[in-house]
Chain A
């Protein structure tokens, strides 16, 4: 018989240590450092107007990143979000064109419902076809984009065509924070609460951590994954409506290529691409970081070309940090197993 297996004691890790090793710490520190350095070089970077622009630019990405994080945490991905955003944005313009006096709240509900419907198509395909979500949503990305192209043709809706109070959501502020940014923050907080403190939210982490174990444990994996895709679609729909409020025009190309920016933001924000860990708060921070880099480079007059390269470096850094942490854990495990003999 071997000797006692345990290390003599398992001290409770202190809350400070746990805070410092949280996955969101690198991205949050990077964001703070970026803002600080840029501010030192160019103090106008944080003037009320450019701070407001910064927030407006980040808002839509934040909602998209929160939505995407829900799906990525379950070890899936939704690449069709750019096309969903485009469809809902163009749909919003169309609705205002046909019913100029429609109450805004109805537009939001319809947009989220439309997005949720598109998300449910992804979800049903992923849960029934047993094909990786990467491939399925790549397919629906092209299909949704194709539908939008034939629907919109060369038509565009301009912000001038929309009701004034709709456009004002992106202009008016409350305590110098734009209204649409407040919407994004409320969404982030609500989804974060759901993911950390509601049982079905915790199930999403369990599924992403080990889908087979989740099945053995009796977690309704299919239903949860489908719900995650529907929620992702609905939140992307919300982002689509806000996009129409924020930007000058919507058309067939609206949201093209944005899916990769979103996945980048989520990964940089500390959500593991293979699911199971990370938080929506981290994903939202990642989105803010990527949006801020653009602003910071402009403020410091660095060539815009560097922006994409820097985003690339951040993605690689996020993945390397992840690998190093998990390798270290494996090594610790081996050491503790060896002691058992």
Chain B
């Protein structure tokens, strides 16, 4: 953590700030989303905010936008204290936000999406559609994009939707413009266009907060950079005086304790082989294999295509090219039934929506995958169901008052164990776990890790998707890092560091290893083992 003396050069007197937030906190139930949200934006600057997934950036943005009100801390806009109760108040104070996900009204026209709630009025106080269309067309001309203001928003590409969000924000003429990963869906030309608009707004005196995972863009565009980690403000830098590796170190810089020990397991034959897997627009040329007893982590930023690859392997989503084989036998694409029959289990990211039937009992949930083996003459006996469920709950140490309670009454960690039990009961060869410890308290987290490690020890191959670097580094035998739909690096236990994973995830390895390609990095690591 930096001392006050070190931060001093970048801090400025409060009166000259467009916006400042100091020590803001926000909790949702037991989850601390933001512990120390601190940011200050000057008029006429582009300020970048960087941090890992879950560092609290989005929560901070939502506080600025008036979506959440902070539990504590000081929030000043234009030098005056701000207490936004809703989005309109934040807007009225001159703050305009472009969210990561476009939030358009699909049934309304493009022009109306831009001007909803402040449509230009013509005669008799009625909305003038002609004027609205003209102004929208003007905005699109500034942005240099050919979008018909009269078409409805439904059916527009994500990039076009993002452009409309930008046009909307520009038309608000805000003092502070917040852009939460605006470039994620844009192509090079569009990004360049967006940047020239951002620079023009800055030159007119607007303060811009820019959140991006692409370092190239951060360094290209911003004047200052604020780094966040684990819900806390870490440091603010003048962009000209700092390097990308230094920022990465601050983003990941925490001690990797012995929290996530994976026991050595005997590595057996190849269980899963994925070759040339491609789904147009989502991921490309995915090649990897997992052996029995191995834990392979699929790392990368949110949106890099990790979950999509897992879903394609399990057959939930179709793919365009490539193949998935279990024990050498090729799986039919797009058939979860075949995947289950071949011995794959899938623990989804959103366990409440996709992993569990929340209103059913613990016993029912555990035995969902056993319906056929438990049934006699098509009827499931409650006694046999309970016996099977109790067996598994004990093995996984699920803490529940009774097998008959709805699974929604359990804690997050115990719910996750129920999902795991459900799949283990099928005796899988390969288990895919997507964000296995998301939203789980630290104690139960290590139990889940121990469990996964035990399973690998028993010869199950595990594919783990995780956004938490310590978890990835602690648990995985091998780490596949994805960047924009491709595997950008393969790192081995021992050779992998947080910095290497982060660099590969951002698609930026030149800074750390000038002149070396991904392959060289990974082979270099292999050689070093």
Point out the residues of chain B lying under 8 angstroms from A196, CB to CB.
127
Query: What's the least CB distance linking B167 to chain A, in Å?
Result: 14
Taking a contact as CB atoms under 8 Å apart, the answer to whether A213 and B126 are in contact is no
Tell me the residues in window 184-224 of chain A with beta carbons closer than 8 Å to chain B beta carbons. Answer: 193, 196-199, 202-203, 205-206, 208-210, 212-220
Partner of B148, one of A13, A197, A338, A340: A13
Query: What's the least CB distance linking A92 to chain B, in Å?
Result: 34
Q: Given A202-B116, A329-B154, A6–B146 Cβ distance below 8 Å? A: yes
The interface bits of chain B over 193-206 (1 if a CB of A lies within 8 angstroms of the residue's CB, else 0) are 00000000000000
User: Is residue A42 contacting chain B, with contact meaning CB distance below 8 A?
Assistant: no
Query: What's the least CB distance linking A74 to chain B, in Å?
Result: 12
User: Is residue A106 contacting chain B, with contact meaning CB distance below 8 A?
Assistant: no
Nearest-neighbor residue (CB-CB) of A2 within chain B: B187
Query: What's the least CB distance linking A22 to chain B, in Å?
Result: 12
Partner of B155, one of A193, A212, A219, A332: A332
Nearest-neighbor residue (CB-CB) of B145 within chain A: A6
Query: What's the least CB distance linking A227 to chain B, in Å?
Result: 15
Query: What's the least CB distance linking A127 to chain B, in Å?
Result: 15
Partner of A216, one of B87, B106, B154, B159: B87
Nearest-neighbor residue (CB-CB) of B112 within chain A: A202
Taking a contact as CB atoms under 8 Å apart, the answer to whether A1 and B117 are in contact is no
How many residues belonging to A are interface residues under a CB distance threshold of 8 Å? 47
Point out the residues of chain A lying under 8 angstroms from B280, CB to CB.
338, 341
Tell me the bound Cα distance from A276 to B105 in angstroms.
8
Taking a contact as CB atoms under 8 Å apart, the answer to whether B187 and A1 are in contact is yes
Taking a contact as CB atoms under 8 Å apart, the answer to whether A333 and B87 are in contact is no
Point out the residues of chain A lying under 8 angstroms from B147, CB to CB.
10
User: Is residue A3 contacting chain B, with contact meaning CB distance below 8 A?
Assistant: yes
Query: What's the least CB distance linking A184 to chain B, in Å?
Result: 22
Partner of B281, one of A213, A216, A326, A337: A337
Taking a contact as CB atoms under 8 Å apart, the answer to whether B187 and A326 are in contact is no
Taking a contact as CB atoms under 8 Å apart, the answer to whether A209 and B157 are in contact is no
Tell me the bound Cα distance from A330 to B160 in angstroms.
15
Point out the residues of chain A lying under 8 angstroms from B190, CB to CB.
5
Taking a contact as CB atoms under 8 Å apart, the answer to whether B105 and A210 are in contact is yes
Tell me the residues in window 321-341 of chain A with beta carbons closer than 8 Å to chain B beta carbons. Answer: 326, 329-330, 332-333, 336-338, 340-341
The interface bits of chain B over 131-170 (1 if a CB of A lies within 8 angstroms of the residue's CB, else 0) are 0000000000000011110110011111110000000000
Interface centre among B99, B107, B281 (most CB of A within 10 A): B107
Point out the residues of chain A lying under 8 angstroms from B188, CB to CB.
1-2
Taking a contact as CB atoms under 8 Å apart, the answer to whether A216 and B105 are in contact is no
User: Is residue B316 contacting chain A, with contact meaning CB distance below 8 A?
Assistant: no
Tell me the residues in window 97-115 of chain A with beta carbons closer than 8 Å to chain B beta carbons. Answer: none
Query: What's the least CB distance linking A135 to chain B, in Å?
Result: 17
User: Is residue A277 contacting chain B, with contact meaning CB distance below 8 A?
Assistant: yes
Point out the residues of chain B lying under 8 angstroms from A198, CB to CB.
125-127
Query: What's the least CB distance linking B69 to chain A, in Å?
Result: 14
Taking a contact as CB atoms under 8 Å apart, the answer to whether B107 and A205 are in contact is yes
Taking a contact as CB atoms under 8 Å apart, the answer to whether A218 and B126 are in contact is no
Query: What's the least CB distance linking A211 to chain B, in Å?
Result: 10
Tell me the bound Cα distance from A3 to B159 in angstroms.
12
User: Is residue B119 contacting chain A, with contact meaning CB distance below 8 A?
Assistant: yes
Nearest-neighbor residue (CB-CB) of B87 within chain A: A218
User: Is residue B186 contacting chain A, with contact meaning CB distance below 8 A?
Assistant: yes
Query: What's the least CB distance linking A297 to chain B, in Å?
Result: 34
Tell me the residues in window 78-129 of chain B with beta carbons closer than 8 Å to chain A beta carbons. Answer: 86-88, 90-91, 99, 103-108, 112, 116-119, 125-127
Taking a contact as CB atoms under 8 Å apart, the answer to whether A215 and B187 are in contact is no
User: Is residue A18 contacting chain B, with contact meaning CB distance below 8 A?
Assistant: yes
Query: What's the least CB distance linking B10 to chain A, in Å?
Result: 31
User: Is residue A11 contacting chain B, with contact meaning CB distance below 8 A?
Assistant: yes
The interface bits of chain B over 35-70 (1 if a CB of A lies within 8 angstroms of the residue's CB, else 0) are 000000000000000000000000000000111000
Query: What's the least CB distance linking A207 to chain B, in Å?
Result: 9
Partner of B105, one of A2, A9, A209, A272: A209
Taking a contact as CB atoms under 8 Å apart, the answer to whether B187 and A3 are in contact is yes
User: Is residue B1 contacting chain A, with contact meaning CB distance below 8 A?
Assistant: no
Taking a contact as CB atoms under 8 Å apart, the answer to whether A13 and B151 are in contact is yes
User: Is residue B189 contacting chain A, with contact meaning CB distance below 8 A?
Assistant: yes
Taking a contact as CB atoms under 8 Å apart, the answer to whether A210 and B106 are in contact is yes
Taking a contact as CB atoms under 8 Å apart, the answer to whether B107 and A5 are in contact is no
Tell me the bound Cα distance from A6 to B161 in angstroms.
12
Point out the residues of chain A lying under 8 angstroms from B160, CB to CB.
5-6
Point out the residues of chain B lying under 8 angstroms from A215, CB to CB.
87
List 13 additional A-B contacts (Cβ < 8 Å) besides A5-B187, A13-B148, A209-B105.
A4-B189, A5-B160, A8-B146, A11-B148, A202-B119, A205-B105, A205-B107, A206-B116, A209-B108, A215-B87, A216-B87, A218-B86, A340-B157
Interchain Cβ contacts under 8 Å between A and B, 10 examples: A5-B157, A196-B127, A197-B127, A199-B117, A199-B118, A205-B105, A205-B108, A218-B117, A332-B155, A340-B157
B interface, CB within 8 angstroms of A = 65-67, 86-88, 90-91, 99, 103-108, 112, 116-119, 125-127, 145-148, 150-151, 154-160, 186-190, 280-281
A interface, CB within 8 angstroms of B = 1-6, 8-13, 18, 193, 196-199, 202-203, 205-206, 208-210, 212-220, 272, 276-277, 326, 329-330, 332-333, 336-338, 340-341
